[in-house]
Structure 1
Amino acid sequence: MNNRLLLNAVLHEFVALFSIEYITCIKYYFYYYYNYYYYYYYYYYYYYYYYYYYYYYYYYYYYYYYYYYYYYYYYYYYYYYFYYYCYFYY
């Protein structure tokens, strides 16, 4: 009888300790799992943030490039217009 009570006490203690360890393990598993996804979405957010501004500046770079290109040929056109005007005038 005493052996049986002792066995029950040992098993009860073992189950209690195992449960505590198991809950602690699950707690840390979800803690690291949460942190992993937190930093994953943090990286993901800044990746698209960078991607957005990259194409933003890319777009404006080409916009001003063609803007400059347009006015360059505009100037070029009027330069030759003035040149031929002076040529035929004089």
Structure 2
Amino acid sequence: MVTDTDLKAAFEAAVASTKDLTQRPDNATLLKLYALYKQATEGDNATTKPGFSDLVGRAKWDAWAALKGLSAEEAMQRYIDLVGTLE
């Protein structure tokens, strides 16, 4: 059984390991990583949606908002699993 402490440690290790990737992930993967990280660390997206001219900001906002209701623990586990496919 994975404890919250173990999960958080594994999550932090996964976050750190993204800085050492040999290849930059594609934009879709980067968006998933961003959204899962934000959901894991901040919870549901309660920020104001960026305007139409901010395409990158809108994509990030939409990706994070799509995870509404996902628990921090589940977001952490999905982040860890996704990073594991990149190494």
TM range (shorter): under 0.3
Q: TM-score, normalised by structure 1?
A: 0.22
Higher relative contact order (Cα pairs below 8 Å, separated by 6+ residues): 2
Larger Rg: 1
